[in-house]
Amino acid sequence: MAAKQPETDEQLLDELCELTLRELCVACGLPAEHIRALVDEGVIEPRGSETAWRFSGVCVRRVRRVYTLERDLGVNLAGAALAVDLLEEIEQLRARLKRLER
């Protein structure tokens, strides 16, 4: 029997988990202004009104990826947003291919 892999932060944060703007800022280590820019760019979509935004746990992964692309590769926000969309599409296609190969 295989040993169970420990869960990572990303596995624990899913679509059912909700975070406030403050919690998302803490989880990603970014100021609220940066998160607002990501919302404006369409990278993440909050639920509720701006005064009471709620973010799914999936947003943490997207924000971290965009920030990494910006910081490490110097990609601008629009480019990073596009890259994250494409990376996620590749992951979905690979998962689908893996399921079909079984």
The hierarchical CATH code for the domain 17-101 is 1.10.1660.10
Let me know: does 76 contact 40? Beta carbons within 8 Å: no
Of residues 7 and 58, more confidence is placed in: 58
Residue range 34-86, pLDDT digits in tens: 999 999 999 999 999 888 999 998 899 999 999 999 999 999 999 999 999 99
pTM value is 0.78
Residue 11 has pLDDT above 60, yes or no: no
Q: Which of 36, 26, 38, 42 is nearest to 70 (CA)?
A: 38
Let me know: does 17 contact 59? Beta carbons within 8 Å: no
Tokens of 38: 């990501």
Residue 17 has pLDDT above 80, yes or no: yes
Residue 13 has pLDDT above 80, yes or no: no
Instruction: Give residue 50's pLDDT.
Output: 83
Tell me the C-alpha distance between 53 and 35, whole Å: 11
Average pLDDT (20-30) is 95
- Give alpha helix (H) positions in the chain: 9-12, 21-28, 32-41, 58-73, 77-101
In the chain, where are the structural domains located?
Answer: 17-101
Tell me the C-alpha distance between 46 and 81, whole Å: 16
